[in-house]
Amino acid sequence: MRPTVLVDASVYVFRGWFSIKPTLKDPAGRPVNAVFGFGQWLGRMLTELAPERAAVAFDESLTSSFRNDYFPSYKANREDAPPELKVQFPLCRRLAEAAGLACLSSPAYEADDLLATLAVRERAAGRNLLVLSRDKDLAQLLRPGDEYHDYPSGLRVSYEQVPGVFGAPAPLIPDYLGLVGDKVDNIPGVPGIGPKTAALLLARWPGLEALYADLEGVAALAVRGAPLLAARLGEHRELAFLSRRLATVEDAVPLDPPPELARGPPDAGALAGLAEELGFSARWRAPFAAPAPA
C-alpha cells in the first residue's frame, strides 16, 4: 500500500515564483511564472510518486490564523505576497484539482493544521504518510512508518531520523521550537537558547513539562554555564510554553464535508482549458492528464 501523500502546497508555489522569471506571462499579460513552476513540480511529483491517496493544502492568509488571536505578532515579520503572486495561487489550486487531487484551504487554519487533521484520519485507517514540504515544523506529524520529503531537493527523512536532522524526536518538534523559536514565523522561543542546547535538553527531558519540573537538574548539568541556563529557562517559562503552543499543529480542524483523498481521474477538459488560458503547451499539462493508479 502506497503512503498517503500530504502536500504543503504554498512552499512549492513560492519555489515556482522564485525559480521562474517573472517575464513569463499569459496571453492577457498576467504573470504566470509561479503556476508554471508549481505545475512542473506537481507533474514531476505525480509521475514519480504516483500517489493513490493525496491531499494538497494551501495557506490563505498571514494574519487570519487562530494563532493571531492570542499572539498578534505571529508571522508579523513576513511581508505579504506581492499581487503578481497572489493571483496565481487560485490558478495553482485549479491545476491540482483538475489533476484529480483533493485541495484544502482555510482562513482560520494554516495548511499545516489541515494536513495534521488529515494525518490523524489516515493513520486511524492504518495508512502511513509521506509529507511533502520544506517546512521543518511538519516533521511533527511523523510517526513510525511515515516519512518527510523535501521534494525535489532530495532530503527524505524517516520518523527515526527526525532527531538527527531536526534536533528532536518528531512528537517533540513543538517543544524544540518552544526553546529555539522560529524566525520565519516570528515565534520567539527562549532568548539565548540555540539548536544544540535545545537538542541536548530534549535528549534528557522528554518535553517542556519534564524540563521545567527539573530546573535543578539543568543547573547541575556538566556543561559550561548550566546554572545560567537554568535561570534563563526559569525567567522565560511563559515564553517557552507560548512558543510551543504557536508551533504545535492543530489536528482536529472541522472538515465538513471530509475530503476524499483517493485520487480521482484527471479532468482533461479543465486541464486543456487552463493550459490554453495560461498560454502553456500540451506538453506542460501532459503529466497531470495521466490516469491515477488503479
**Tens digit of each residue's pLDDT (9 = 90 or more) over 250-283:** 999 999 888 999 999 999 999 999 999 999 887 7
Question: Residue 293 — pLDDT band, cuts 50, 70, 90?
Answer: low
Instruction: For the domain covering 170-247, report its CATH number.
Output: 1.10.150.20
Per-residue pLDDT of 58-92, as tens digits, reads 998 777 889 999 999 888 888 888 889 999 999 99
Looking at residue 290, its pLDDT comes to: 67
Quote the strand ranges of the chain, DSSP E.
Answer: 4-8, 54-57, 102-104, 129-132, 147-150, 155-158
Q: Break the chain into its structural domains and give their ranges.
A: 4-163+250-289, 170-247
- Computed over every residue of the chain, the mean pLDDT equals 93
Distance CA 149, CA 165 (A): 12
Tell me the fold of 4-163+250-289.
Rossmann fold (3.40.50)
Which of 191, 164, 162, 161 shows the shortest CA–CA distance to 179? Answer: 191
Which range, of 4-8, 46-50, 234-238, averages the lowest pLDDT? Answer: 46-50
22: left (phi over 0), alpha (psi -120 to 50) or beta: alpha
Number of Cβ within 10 Å of residue 265's Cβ equals: 10
pLDDT tens, 193-247? 999 999 999 999 999 999 999 999 999 998 888 999 999 999 999 999 999 999 9
Please answer whether residues 19 and 68 qualify as being in contact, where contact means their C-beta atoms are separated by less than 8 angstroms.
Answer: no
Per-residue pLDDT at 5:
98
CA dist 272 to 37, 243, 268, Å?
17, 46, 6
**pTM exceeding 0.85:** yes
Tell me the CA distances in angstroms from 191 to 13, 98, 180, 197, one per residue in order: 33, 47, 8, 12
